[in-house]
């Protein structure tokens, strides 16, 4: 079994403040990172900010603050988002850092030495918003960017090209040998067919602005911001000839939004092939969020602010809602009414009520202590086996279908609720059948402890509070009564998940 896991989010472009989309990607990555740490893996989780390019210069000018201040303040906002959402990243890479610039220069030098860069002239339709050239076919009405809706500009400039076309066959071969390289599968065929149709060489330098990494072989040029940005996945490990790189490269999974899949599944692997660096194992592509049925946009004024959400509802409720509704392969819709409804039904009723019910019963009938039980009858053993079986959960996490993993845990909590309702331990205590009542509570308590660990990646704060309520902080991943028996539960009732109106 692979003992390390290297996963990345894209570095976020700091022309705007963090929004729902950034929070979503980071939370997906965080769930995967936390789950694998729980499974005992040595995890490196990279995120950061993309700070070069014309659009950043324009955004800084618009804001009225000097460029250096602007980028520091924006990068800080993204770090604060991570703190607020409990994102457990191992490193935060900024492309304006000296280390990053040095690593980019090294990689470009390898590619150049390999004969894959040549001088030429480029004329094309460029979207400043995307920092990308478009072919007419990809544009709305032949002149507007499909992402930004705004008109593209016609640019003509001296440039250096990367021989992307040279790597067509090697890319196709890599896709064929690694059918899980691009997830979900629907995205795989889309990319595969486009590459098969042919690849133009890629213009990788600009002369129209200078906020970027200098092209080392012609100082009039700076590197195309995407080529610069993609190298963060290496500079984030301190560069190529480092122990961190040796330990973690290549990435096990790179998590991205669907709008940047071409860069990550075609351009990035081609650059790596040219530089003689091994390729990432998987790229996990997620869809976008609409808000109450509409596309999220500044103009519509419906941008979901992760800071506001976390302050208003708590970061765990926000995390839970996004993961519970994350249709990885397609778009998802954000609805505040649904967030409240799901908080109430799933977190408060299904999980919170069960915990407080058990705590109350233990205080009432067992001196607040979880009983130690060793003997179970066949029916009870059968129930324990159902709860203990976490294979599906582990498989779902390992194949990055994390929403299904969350569903699986929630379903187990529903089983516990049904079990306690059917067994009626309160009746046993009232009718001098104490040992049966104790058995029920012991089974439920160890089940809750065990399942709370599976909730950890999704709702890290609340999962810990669940264990605190039961007085057992044991985080052993096995199901065993010795991990909860004898624990003193909280003496007073505590509301784990407040109902939302």
In contact, 470 and 484? CB cutoff 8 Å: yes
**Interface segment toward Zn ion; rule CB under 5 A; list 103-111, 129-137, 232-240, 255-263:** 129-137
183 bridge partner residues: 284
140 bridge partner residues: 144
**Interface segment toward Zn ion; rule CB under 5 A; list 104-112, 115-123, 127-135, 404-412:** 127-135
Q: State the burial class of residue 136 (Cβ atoms within 10 Å of its Cβ: 0-12, 13-18, 19+).
A: exposed
Report which of 73, 53, 356, 11 is spatially closest to residue 212, judged by C-alpha positions.
53
**Cα–Cα distance between 76 and 64 in angstroms, integer?**
18
**Interface segment toward Zn ion; rule CB under 5 A; list 1-9, 139-147, 187-195, 420-428:** 139-147
**Interface segment toward Zn ion; rule CB under 5 A; list 42-50, 123-131, 366-374, 420-428:** 123-131
In contact, 21 and 289? CB cutoff 8 Å: yes
Q: Which CB sits closer to Zn ion, 148 or 494? A: 148
Q: Which CB sits closer to Zn ion, 13 or 413? A: 13
Active site residue 445: no
Query: What minimum distance in Å lies between the beta carbon of 280 and Zn ion?
Result: 25
Query: What minimum distance in Å lies between the beta carbon of 145 and Zn ion?
Result: 3
Query: What minimum distance in Å lies between the beta carbon of 153 and Zn ion?
Result: 11
Query: What minimum distance in Å lies between the beta carbon of 293 and Zn ion?
Result: 23
Active site residue 231: no
In contact, 110 and 274? CB cutoff 8 Å: yes
Of 129, 184, 216, 250, the residue at the interface with Zn ion (CB under 5 A) is 129
Query: What minimum distance in Å lies between the beta carbon of 227 and Zn ion?
Result: 18
**Interaction pattern, residues 142-181, with Zn ion; x per rule: CB under 5 A:** ---x-xx---------------------------------
123 bridge partner residues: 156
The yes or no reply on residue 127 touching Zn ion (CB under 5 A) is yes
Q: Which CB sits closer to Zn ion, 148 or 196? A: 148
Active site residue 366: no
Q: Which CB sits closer to Zn ion, 145 or 359? A: 145
Helix, coil or strand: residue 219? coil
Query: What minimum distance in Å lies between the beta carbon of 134 and Zn ion?
Result: 8
In contact, 403 and 397? CB cutoff 8 Å: no
Q: Which CB sits closer to Zn ion, 151 or 292? A: 151
With CB under 5 A as the rule, give the number of residues binding Zn ion: 6
Query: What minimum distance in Å lies between the beta carbon of 423 and Zn ion?
Result: 59
HEC states along 130-164? Answer: CCEEECHHHCECCCECCCCCCECEEEEEEEEEECH
**Cα–Cα distance between 113 and 182 in angstroms, integer?**
30
The yes or no reply on residue 302 touching Zn ion (CB under 5 A) is no
Active site residue 19: yes
Active site residue 145: yes
Q: Give me the count of residues in the chain.
A: 501
Q: Which CB sits closer to Zn ion, 138 or 238? A: 138
Give Cβ neighbours of residue 290 (< 8 Å, ≥ 6 apart). Answer: 296, 331, 332, 333, 334
Which residue do the tokens 């309520």 mark? Answer: 469
Q: Which of 22, 36, 79, 100 is catalytic?
A: 22
Active site residue 298: yes
Q: Which of 52, 145, 286, 439 is catalytic?
A: 145
Which residue do the tokens 């058995």 mark? Answer: 439
Q: Which of 52, 127, 439, 462 is catalytic?
A: 127
Q: Which CB sits closer to Zn ion, 33 or 145? A: 145
The yes or no reply on residue 130 touching Zn ion (CB under 5 A) is yes
**Cα–Cα distance between 27 and 33 in angstroms, integer?**
10
Catalogue the E-assigned strands of 241-369.
Answer: 253-257, 283-286, 289-291, 294-295, 332-334
Q: DSSP labels for 31-92? A: HHHHHHHHTT-EEEEEEEEE--SHHHHHHHHHHTS-HHHHHHHHHHHHHHHHHHTT---SEE
Q: Which of 241, 298, 381, 391 is catalytic?
A: 298
Residues 441-470 interacting with Zn ion (rule: CB under 5 A): none
Cis peptide before 41 (omega within 30 of 0): no
Query: What minimum distance in Å lies between the beta carbon of 243 and Zn ion?
Result: 39
Helix, coil or strand: residue 107? helix
Query: What minimum distance in Å lies between the beta carbon of 139 and Zn ion?
Result: 9
Report which of 232, 216, 270, 272 is spatially closest to residue 50, judged by C-alpha positions.
232
**Interaction pattern, residues 78-117, with Zn ion; x per rule: CB under 5 A:** ----------------------------------------
Q: Which of 52, 130, 439, 462 is catalytic?
A: 130
Q: Which CB sits closer to Zn ion, 241 or 298? A: 298
Q: Which CB sits closer to Zn ion, 13 or 318? A: 13
DSSP annotation of 251: P
**Interface segment toward Zn ion; rule CB under 5 A; list 140-148, 338-346, 363-371, 479-487:** 140-148
Query: Contact residues for Zn ion (CB under 5 A)?
Result: 127, 129-130, 145, 147-148
Q: Which residues are catalytic?
A: 19, 22, 127, 130, 145, 148, 295, 298
């Amino acid at each position: 079994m692979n003992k390390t896991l290297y996963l990345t989010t894209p570095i976020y472009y700091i022309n705007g403040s963090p929004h729902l989309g950034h929070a979503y990607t980071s939370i997906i990555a965080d769930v995967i990172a936390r789950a694998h740490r729980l499974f005992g893996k040595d995890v490196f989780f990279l995120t950061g900010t993309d700070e070069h390019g014309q659009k950043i210069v324009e955004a800084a000018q618009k804001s009225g603050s000097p460029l250096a201040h602007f980028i520091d303040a924006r990068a800080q906002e993204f770090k604060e988002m991570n703190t607020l959402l409990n994102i457990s990243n191992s490193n935060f890479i900024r492309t304006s850092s000296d280390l990053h610039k040095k690593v980019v220069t090294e990689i470009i030098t390898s590619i150049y030495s390999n004969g894959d860069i040549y001088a030429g002239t480029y004329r094309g339709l460029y979207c400043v918003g995307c920092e990308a050239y478009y072919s007419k076919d990809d544009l709305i009405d032949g002149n507007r960017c499909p992402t930004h809706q705004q008109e593209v500009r016609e640019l003509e400039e001296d440039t250096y090209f990367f021989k992307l076309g040279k790597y067509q066959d090697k890319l196709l071969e890599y896709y064929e040998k690694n059918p899980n390289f691009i997830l979900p599968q629907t995205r795989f065929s889309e990319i595969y067919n486009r590459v098969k149709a042919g690849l133009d060489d890629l213009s990788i330098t600009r002369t129209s602005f200078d906020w970027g990494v200098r092209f080392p072989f012609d100082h009039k040029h700076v590197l195309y911001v995407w080529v610069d940005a993609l190298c963060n996945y290496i500079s984030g490990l301190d560069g190529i000839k480092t122990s961190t790189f040796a330990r973690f490269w290549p990435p096990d999974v790179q998590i991205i939004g669907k709008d940047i899949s071409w860069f990550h599944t075609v351009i990035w692997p081609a650059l790596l092939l040219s530089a003689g660096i091994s390729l990432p194992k998987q790229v996990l592509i997620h869809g976008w969020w609409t808000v109450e049925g509409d596309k999220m946009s500044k103009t519509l004024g419906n941008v979901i602010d992760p800071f506001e959400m976390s302050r208003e509802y708590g970061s765990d409720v926000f995390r839970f809602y996004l993961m519970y509704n994350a249709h990885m392969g397609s778009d998802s819709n954000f609805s505040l009414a649904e967030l409240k409804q799901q908080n109430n039904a799933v977190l408060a009723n299904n999980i919170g009520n069960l915990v407080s019910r058990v705590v109350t019963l233990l205080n009432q009938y067992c001196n607040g202590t979880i009983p130690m039980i060793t003997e179970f009858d066949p029916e009870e053993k059968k129930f324990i086996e159902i709860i203990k079986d976490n294979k599906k959960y582990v498989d779902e996490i390992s194949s990055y279908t994390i929403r299904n993993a969350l569903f699986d845990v929630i379903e187990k909590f529903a089983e516990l609720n049904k079990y306690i309702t059917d067994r009626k331990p309160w009746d046993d205590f009232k009718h001098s059948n104490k040992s049966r009542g104790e058995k029920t509570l012991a089974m439920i308590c160890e089940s809750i402890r065990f399942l709370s660990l599976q909730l950890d990646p999704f709702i890290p704060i609340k999962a810990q509070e669940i264990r605190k309520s039961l007085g057992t902080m044991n985080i052993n991943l096995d199901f065993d009564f010795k991990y909860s028996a004898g624990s003193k539960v909280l003496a007073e009732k505590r509301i784990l998940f407040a109902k939302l109106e």
